[in-house]
Structure 1
Amino acid sequence: MRQRPTRNLVNAFVRHTTGVLELNRPKALNSLNHEMVEIISEALDTWRDDDSVHRVVICSSSERGFCAGGDVRTCREEGLAGDFDSGDRFFRAEYEMNRQLADFPKAIVSVIDGVAMGGGLGVSVHGSHRVITEKAFAAMPEMAIGFIPDVGTTWMMQRMIGESGEALPELATFLGVTGWRMTPADMLWSGLATDLIASEDVDRFIDAVIAESLDDALEQYARPVDFVDGGELEGFLPDIRATFGHDSWAAIDGALEGHGNADFVARVRDLTEKASPTSVVAAVELYTANRAARDIVHALDNEFAVGSVLRREHDFPEGVRAVLVDKDRSPTFDPSATGDVDVDFYRTILKHR
């Protein structure tokens, strides 16, 4: 079994020719804070041009999960105290880390065993290999907290290619707006994950990557897709194509109203029932803008521009309160209907970037 230090919120070390980034904040399910982001960024900067480091492994020290997201509770507390600059600095640092991961010239092997949500996807999906287990699940649940999908996922997920053999931007919009909880089968089918191993083999797999090679480790421990139960997402693809391929929430909403699969429409309505109407409208505008973004830097800039506005508005602190603080799941969002959201406001923000 791999020997590892357990002193820091992220244990960053090199073994043989592998750099290891081990998320080590188990009590918070590895939710990323500014210190964790800085440790990861510094390590990536050091290893990028170090010829003795051939690959990077990103994993968790906890059996409870990979990473539950970013530390938005702290951002809420700071904002309520009138300090939005700290949140701006955190998100800028996190997005720069996402860019580093996306542009890293060597293999990055993320090992996702358990939860990966929000910022947990930002620290894992931009690398070359997204290795999951049968315990993995993923989601972008930002609609419920008055925010938008970010950390570069509005760029990456519109361009990932899974078993369909093509990029599916409408699928990315569906996943972000509904917060759909992806099963291991969903993650593999969509292209969010590239490989599958057994949870019981995680340590042995990482040991093999370090002691031998990534190819040898995958040859020894990779499992076939039928190792996990099938997911629902693939079956909904015709419905998603028919309804979520539009450029605005108003158009998507209209397509849903006239769509023939009542079961699918009911699922979407159920998933978005507790969503912030402002977030839903802003998110679709963001996905539309990032479909045509020049590169991930442009996409991250768009995410920051919209997110920094939302963090200063009513729905973000209220959504975080309802989901993460009081946990009553009964937010009072304002406006309370998507038709009352000023869509032109968000279009103006994105048009000038």
Structure 2
Amino acid sequence: MSEEQVRWTPAAGHGDEVLYAVDGPLGRIRLNRPRAINALDQASVDSLRQVLTDWAADESVRAVLIEGAGERGLCAGGDVRALREAVVAGDVQLPVDYWEAEYAVNQLIADFPKPYIAWMDGIVMGGGLGVSTHGSVRLVTERTQLAMPEVIIGFFPDVGVLHLLARAPGQTGTHLALTGSPVSGADAVLLGLADAQVPRDAHARLVDALREDPTLDAAALTQLVGALGGDEAESWLQAQRGWVDECYAGDDAAEILERLRARPEPEAREAAETIASRSPHSVAVTLEALRRAASLDLAGVLAQDLSLGPAFARHPDFAEGVRAQLVDKDRSPRWTHASVADVPRAEVLTAFGD
């Protein structure tokens, strides 16, 4: 079947937020909200949950491939503007219902009984990682901009990603979680959030290869479609491991900030200023959640995420962070605490129900 012959349709009973196609042995998913960089709203999550459940039991579907519509990327994350509107209106249950459904999809992907291939081209952030990085074959490109930017909006890195970041080399996962800054495809591979980096123009070759053999793993696919080399394959994070591993060690976010500020490397001092601009409450709780995630399996991390969600929804920094970043877009949030050193330990523990 040629690409022109592929028939994309919504799931039965759902809208066109997500489109699906059965392409030979492939079940293909296309997140289809390109104007919002395919952000996942409740309808998208419900659609994915239904179809993934069906395809897991459908013997004619031997592998699944997920991609994003449009030119900008796979997925910019969850539809947090809608969640903020509910919170401001006094409805915390709506976000909880959303997170519960979203995390169920994340677990479905991790447990999927067939190859699940994620085409992580362009922007892949927040919930976009939840529908990609838990898959069995995760491919990034030279255009990939990957991030868990939740501390920017007064939230925390959820969708089970802390399970992976807690196991990333050295303290590279801590850097990603606390800064919320984007990294490249090569960095995603280093972090364990992706398996291989391939050229963006390899997409058609990838689909052809999977039509022929849907069981191909990341190494085999990379060999068939080509791997990126040269500067594009170099990990910035790997080059910064000296100060990253030293500065981000430990459980005290204020001490981490002091160590970063004292380093001679400009990259370390820039990281310090970035973290200092984030929600202090988010940074402190995120660090605690990351350290706890080191001893949890994915299901345990997702359960922790679901437990933390309502605490963040009720905290003033969430509504304020989303306002500043996505609603008014003034990029000038007024956080509850002046600095991470001002966040009481008791407040951090309260978020976990301790």
TM > 0.5 between the two?
A: yes
Residues 195 and 222 of structure 1 are in contact (CA less than 8 Å); yes or no, is this contact kept in structure 2?
no
User: Does 326-335 or 199-208 show the bigger shift?
Assistant: 199-208
Moved over 6 A (4+): none
Report what 1:46 is aligned to: 54
Residues 158 and 169 of structure 1 are in contact (CA less than 8 Å); yes or no, is this contact kept in structure 2?
no
Match of 1:269 among 272, 282, 297: 272
Q: Which runs of 5+ in 2 are unaligned?
A: 11-15
Q: Deviations over 1:307-349 (max 9, x none)?
A: 2211111111111111111111111111122122122233254
Letter in 2 for 1:15: D
Letter in 1 for 2:251: D
3-state SS, counterpart of residue 273 of structure 1: helix
Residues 311 and 351 of structure 2 are in contact (CA less than 8 Å); yes or no, is this contact kept in structure 1?
no
Report what 1:164 is aligned to: none
Residues 335 and 341 of structure 1 are in contact (CA less than 8 Å); yes or no, is this contact kept in structure 2?
yes
Q: Deviations over 1:15-35 (max 9, x none)?
A: 222111111111111000111
Report what 1:280 is aligned to: 283
Letter in 2 for 1:155: H
Residues 172 and 237 of structure 2 are in contact (CA less than 8 Å); yes or no, is this contact kept in structure 1?
no
Residues 134 and 228 of structure 1 are in contact (CA less than 8 Å); yes or no, is this contact kept in structure 2?
yes
Distance 2:50 2:35 in 1: 24
Residues 289 and 350 of structure 1 are in contact (CA less than 8 Å); yes or no, is this contact kept in structure 2?
no
3-state SS, counterpart of residue 314 of structure 2: coil
Q: Is residue 329 of structure 2 the alignment partner of residue 301 of structure 1? A: no
Superposed displacement of residue 297, structure 1? 1.4
3-state SS, counterpart of residue 331 of structure 1: coil
Q: Is residue 81 of structure 2 the alignment partner of residue 77 of structure 1? A: no
Report what 1:315 is aligned to: 317
Letter in 2 for 1:66: L
Residues 17 and 54 of structure 1 are in contact (CA less than 8 Å); yes or no, is this contact kept in structure 2?
yes
Q: How large is the RMSD of aligned CA atoms in angstroms?
A: 2.0
The sequence identity of aligned pairs, in percent, is 34
Report what 1:175 is aligned to: 176
Report what 1:121 is aligned to: 129
Superposed displacement of residue 246, structure 1? 0.9
Report what 2:327 is aligned to: 325
Residues 177 and 280 of structure 1 are in contact (CA less than 8 Å); yes or no, is this contact kept in structure 2?
yes
Residues 95 and 300 of structure 1 are in contact (CA less than 8 Å); yes or no, is this contact kept in structure 2?
yes
Report what 2:192 is aligned to: 191
Distance 2:352 2:58 in 1: 38
Aligned residues: 343
Counterparts in 2 of 1:307 and 1:248: CA distance versus 1, 3 Å: farther
User: Does 198-207 or 92-101 show the bigger shift?
Assistant: 198-207
Superposed displacement of residue 172, structure 1? 1.1
Report what 1:163 is aligned to: none
Letter in 1 for 2:153: I
Q: Which runs of 5+ in 1 are unaligned?
A: 160-166
Letter in 1 for 2:80: V
3-state SS, counterpart of residue 100 of structure 1: helix
Q: Deviations over 1:99-142 (max 9, x none)?
A: 11112222110001110011111110001111112111101111
Residues 31 and 38 of structure 2 are in contact (CA less than 8 Å); yes or no, is this contact kept in structure 1?
yes
Distance 1:213 1:49 in 2: 16
Q: Deviations over 1:38-62 (max 9, x none)?
A: 1111112112233322211111122
Letter in 2 for 1:250: A
Superposed displacement of residue 156, structure 1? 2.0
Report what 1:94 is aligned to: 102
Letter in 2 for 1:220: L
Counterparts in 2 of 1:314 and 1:350: CA distance versus 1, 3 Å: closer
Q: Deviations over 1:157-212 (max 9, x none)?
A: 223xxxxxxx4262211101011311122123333221222222313422331244
Counterparts in 2 of 1:336 and 1:6: CA distance versus 1, 3 Å: farther
Q: Is residue 253 of structure 2 the alignment partner of residue 252 of structure 1? A: no
Residues 185 and 225 of structure 1 are in contact (CA less than 8 Å); yes or no, is this contact kept in structure 2?
no
Q: Is residue 30 of structure 2 the alignment partner of residue 26 of structure 1? A: no
Distance 2:221 2:235 in 1: 26
3-state SS, counterpart of residue 246 of structure 2: helix
Letter in 1 for 2:317: D
Distance 2:295 2:170 in 1: 11
Report what 1:341 is aligned to: 343
Report what 1:242 is aligned to: 246
